[in-house]
Structure 1
Amino acid sequence: MRIVKEIAGRICAAWALVTFIVTFILVLPFAFVSYLFPEPASTAYFIKVSRIWMHIWFFLIGCPIRVRGTAHFKKGAGYIVTCNHNSLLDIPLSSAFIPGPNKTIAKTSFARIPVFGWYYTKGSVLVDRKSETSRKRSIEKMKAVLRQGMHMCIYPEGTRNRTKEPLKPFYNGAFKLAEDTGHSIVPAVILGTKQAVPLNKPFFFLPRTLEIHFLKPVEVNGRNAAALKEEVFNIMKAHLEV
């Protein structure tokens, strides 16, 4: 039975990769149209295209999507969305299904991939973590995203969680951004991606239901980054442990 599961996981991974590439090629011309609009209309259009693409792709690979808590987003307000990070599936899930235009803080590595790198860059605020200059520029870019009424998605664990704990300790970035700008934080919990793409199995995927739950916003109310980080961490951990 284990051998059958291992074989099935590789076949499903191959199917997921092929369908990702094919659907990406088909959606790319529509995504290019986003450059005809100024911000934030440009990103709003881009995210709508991405959402359609992800609905199609997740359907093709057998992953139903469940999204809860979108009512927490007030129209016209920009939020800092903090997501847990377990899998490469987390970013396409969060980016496409956060309600409204949004950008994700992301590493520069994927931006170097020909053609796809453009798409990845359009939906991201890129940062080279090894460069102090890059980190400072990314902070200013994230503040600009929020000023334009868009949402800024941040993974406060920094990297995928390879521990047995529900969450890794959080970095300060998202919460310092909230402290500096006064923008509320929407904790978001992603479920199912760790099981669909286990971190300890190379080139392995098995279909399952994927979920993203947006929780009640955390207001800044003059609090510092440390206090915000502790509250958001506890909220997300409690939701994961239910």
Structure 2
Amino acid sequence: MRILQISFVLLWRAWFLIINIFLIPFWAGVSIPFLFKDKYYPIAYWFHQMWARSNLFLMGFWYVLEKDEEILDKNKQYVIISNHTSIMDIMLIYSLMRNHPLVFVGKAELAKLPFFGFVYKKSNILIDRKNLSSCIQVFKKIQDKVDSGKSVCIFPEGGVPKPSVFLDHFKNGAFFIAIIKKISIIPFTIADIKTKFPSFSIMKGGPGKIRIKQHHSISTKNLSLKDKNDLKKKCFNLIKHQLEKFEREKVNQSKF
């Protein structure tokens, strides 16, 4: 039985690679003409969303969204933050933020991937965390993107933490930008992906439901940089407590 289960997971993972051999060139390719001028970026963003939603559907994932009652302003930008466990987190954020074209702040290594790397680099902001000058330049690029009307998604853990880490310490970047530019933060808590599509093992996982909580936006209008650590702590605790709630719900459901 164990061998059959592992075989299924390996085939399922191979399916992910196969579909993206076709999806990435198609959706990324048709978006390229719209990446060179900011006014056309919403069109390119729609294609990025189609790539993300196609991946989720074809991999057998569906999400159940719980959200605090709030109507987001379509004309406002936001800093989106979330816990980070897998590449699927990116696809989920694309799918959820349909009315707010955004850019991701991601690892510079992604630019080395053939074809996808070009589109990712052109669409998003790449950071080499080992290079101080790169980090400084990134803050300037983020501010430029915000000034051009885009929202920004930053995973404050700074990458996918080790499987043993429940929620890694948050870095300062997202909160610095939100305060400097006076942009509200939208925290997301994503559950289940850590076990359904883990980054550190291709022999685990499987399709199924993903639970997501979209928290109420947090205003930075009256904050200064001296409030940065308090804001970071508030967001960390918000996501941590929701993850713990998701875990309790999962345990309780398994009892029945």
TM-score normalised by structure 2 residue count: 0.86
Alpha-carbon displacement from aligned partner over 1:121-164 (angstroms, at most 9, x marks no partner): 13311111122211111101111222222111000011213254
Point out 4+ residue stretches in structure 1 off by more than 4 angstroms. none
SS in 1 for 2:217: coil
2: CA distance between counterparts of 1:94 and 1:127? 19
Q: Could you tell me which residue of structure 2 aligns to residue 76 of structure 1? A: 75
Select the residue among 34, 42, 45 that pairs with 1:44. Answer: 42
State the shift of 1:173 in Å: 1.0
Deviation at 1:87?
1.2
| Structure 2 SS opposite 1:218 | coil
Deviation at 1:233, TM superposition (A): 0.8
Aligned to 1:234: 237
1:67–1:212 contact (8 Å) kept in structure 2: yes
- Pairwise CA RMSD: 2.0
Q: Measure, in 2, the Cα distance between the counterparts of 1:78 and 1:150.
A: 6
Partner of 1:33: 33
Post-superposition CA distance 1:4-57 (Å, at most 9, x none): 211111010011110111122222332123136x31x33311221111222222
Whether the 8 Å contact between 2:28 and 2:48 is mirrored in structure 1 is no
Cα distance between partner residues in 2 of 1:60 and 1:159 = 25
Partner amino acid for 1:222?
A: L
Give the conservation status (yes or no) of the 8 Å contact 1:78–1:147: no
Residue 228 of structure 1 aligns with an amino acid whose one-letter code is L
Q: Quote the residue 1:222 is aligned against.
A: 223
Q: Is 1:86 aligned to residue 89 of structure 2? A: no
8 Å Cα contact 1:78-1:149 kept in structure 2? yes
Tell me whether 1:21 sits opposite 2:24 in the alignment: no
Aligned match of 2:251: none
CA distance in 1, matches of 2:10, 2:199: 14
Q: Size of the alignment, in residue pairs? A: 240
Partner of 2:156: 156
| Contact 2:196–2:207, Cα closer than 8 Å, also in 1 | yes
TM-score, normalisation: structure 1: 0.90
Alignment of 1:133-144 (within 5 A): 133-144=133-144
Report if the CA contact (8 A) 2:88-2:193 is conserved: yes
The AA in structure 1 aligned to 2:88 is L
Secondary structure in structure 2 of the residue aligned to 1:64: strand
Kindly report which structure 2 residues correspond to 1:41-120, keeping only aligned pairs within 5 A, or say none. Answer: 41-69=39-67, 71-99=70-98, 100-120=100-120
- Please tell me whether the aligned partners of residues 105 and 127 of structure 2 are also in contact (alpha carbons under 8 angstroms): yes
Deviation at 1:168, TM superposition (A): 0.9
Task: Give, in whole Å, the separation in 2 of the partners of 1:163 and 1:204.
Answer: 12
